[in-house]
Amino acid sequence: MTTMTENASGLREFKMPDVGEGLTEAEILKWYVQPGDKVTDGQVVCEVETAKAAVELPIPYDGVVSELRFPEGTTVDVGQVIIAVDVSAGAAPAPAAPAAEQAPAAPAEAPAEEAQPEGRKPVLVGYGVAESSTKRRPRKGAGTPAQQGETLYAATAIQGELNGHGHGTAPAQQRPLAKPPVRKLAKDLGVDLATVTPSGPDGIITREDVHAAAAPAQAPAPLAAPAPAAVPQAPVQVQPQAPAPAASFDGARETRIPVKGVRKAIATAMVGSAFTAPHVTEFVTLDVTRTMRLVEELKQDKDMQGLRVNPLLLVAKALLVAIKRNPDVNASWDEANQEIVRKHYVNLGIAAATPRGLIVPNIKDAHSKTLPQLAESLGELVATAREGKTSPAAMQGGTVTITNVGVFGVDTGTPILNPGESAILAVGAIKPQPWVHKGKVKPRQVTTLALSFDHRLVDGELGSKVLADTAAVLEQPKRLITWA
């Protein structure tokens, strides 16, 4: 499908492209240009969010922006025109259109912020070079934290370097950090986010901050009447002011959030999985004291220096060993052809909670990686997911998944299969508990594993063996050597 059209007057219309994953729509998160701005071939003009990832769209020609067809926050179907550019010779910058889609302060700096590095190549499917389809423009992280905080999805990343679109521009008019539902709430309540004091991590504005900012604007109305009242009544009315935000919240008892983007994709996938694949979940509680000791030893190992070493790494390796011993579990169900497809590779999915919602990127060919290589891949996967830079390709082709619910202090769960996969392993919290060890009750590090599998292609015996072997490796890590 072509992503551009041109008329006789030299006006080119750029359409919402299919980023290569068969998606039908995308939401415009942010415009980096305004009508009247000059653009060059390969310059990023906007950021859009598909059901799988946030993607920057470059314009494939030089010219002057004539019109932005949709404002930020609009969901646009693939193939619809989103921007018009005048590419006629000697085109002069047109005056900015009055139909501004953003707040007037922020767009004024967008062109300066988005000056493109020389030699940038387009990354859209259909006209870009092959290698560009898997690489994104490097983020500029040399600015201040305020400049780096321009990208919403990096607000809760644990890494010190946050995503940003700043390019040396003064940070005086940076867009406040807030998630889309919070922005909608502020709009509904008439609250200017620029005036709100953030209380969330890394300066992100929360719902509570918006309600607190809205409360003073609503409070004077009821307090105006009792002003001339007798003095003894004053202390009585001062006390209820503490729960004022709650009173304001009662004024808007419900907030409706459109189902789109990642949340829509999650809902569709989970419903499809739950009502297509017959789920069976088995549990095992085990002593992982030796595994925890090994984790500490590996942190001091010179071959693991600079790598992410934690219990999840050894859980992943244990599951890979269990799959090698029971290869039939690594399969998928082909309903159309009525076939069971056995996979001779393992793309290990890791469920990651991000500001955009749950995503499941996977480590390609995890079965062939050494422990240091697996640690490196796991660290890159988690960091990329938390920064909101996971590509759609990274979430395709998974075979088996791990979800670590233990990080939330949860003992275990009954995870739902990722569509197209045969099994998912939930890892619970590791806690000191009384345990019979060598005939005596001692405090040991204990956890619970839960394995859900598709009963159409995984029988109870096979599922039980995979879970038991995974637990056996974690109880006796030396089996990583003897069984591998």
* Comparison of pLDDT for 340 and 252, the residue scoring more: 340
- Residue 348 bridge partners (DSSP): 363, 400
366-391 residue pLDDT tens: 999 999 999 999 999 988 888 878 88
Average pLDDT over residues 265-269: 75
Helix H segments across 330-392?
371-386
Tokens 């889609």: give the residue.
101
The active-site residue out of 167, 279, 367, 455 is 455
- Tokens for 198, please give them: 């953030």
Helix 460-475 vs helix 311-325: angle between axes, to the nearest 10 degrees? Answer: 140
pLDDT(136) > 50: no
Q: Is the dihedral of CA 273, 277, 281, 287 positive or negative?
A: negative
Please report where in the chains the tokens 């409360």 appear, as a residue: 215
- Would strands 63-68 and 38-39 be described as parallel, antiparallel, or unpaired? antiparallel
- With a CB cutoff of 8 Å and minimum separation 6, the contacts of 42 are 58, 59, 60, 116, 120, 121, 122
Query: Contact 480/321 with Cβ under 8 angstroms?
Result: yes
Summarize the confidence of residues 117-133 as an average pLDDT: 42
Rounded Cα–Cα distance for residues 464 and 400 (Å): 15
Q: How many CA atoms lie within 13 A of 63 on its CB side?
A: 22
The strand ranges marked E within 335-427 are 339-342, 348-350, 352-354, 357-359, 362-363, 400-404, 423-427
Looking at every residue in the chain, the average pLDDT score rounds to 76
Q: How far apart are CA 438 and CA 462, in angstroms?
A: 30
What confidence tier does 265 reach under pLDDT thresholds 50, 70, 90?
confident
What pLDDT band is residue 205 in, cutting at 50, 70 and 90?
A: confident
Kindly tell me if the per-residue pLDDT of 323 is higher than 60.
Answer: yes
90 CA to centre of own chain: 43
Say how far apart CA 385 and CA 358 lie, in whole Å: 10
Q: Is 437 a residue of the active site?
A: no
Whether the pLDDT of residue 93 is over 80: the answer is no
- Distance CA(425)–CA(468), nearest Å, equals 12
C-beta neighbour count of 275 within 10 angstroms: 8
**Phi (first) and psi of residue 217, to 5 degrees:** -70, -25
Residue 346 confidence class, pLDDT cut points 50, 70, 90: very high
Please tell me the chain's helix, strand, coil percentages from 3-state DSSP, rounded to the nearest 5: 35, 20, 45
pTM: 0.54
Structure tokens at 315: 């859980």
User: What are the tens digits of pLDDT across the range 5-40?
Assistant: 666 568 899 998 876 556 678 888 889 999 999 999
CA 405 – CA 413 distance, rounded (Å): 8
Handedness of CA 307, 311, 312, 317 (dihedral sign): positive
464 burial (CB, 10 Å; 0-12 / 13-18 / 19+) is middle
Q: With cut-offs at 50, 70 and 90, classify the pLDDT of residue 3.
A: low
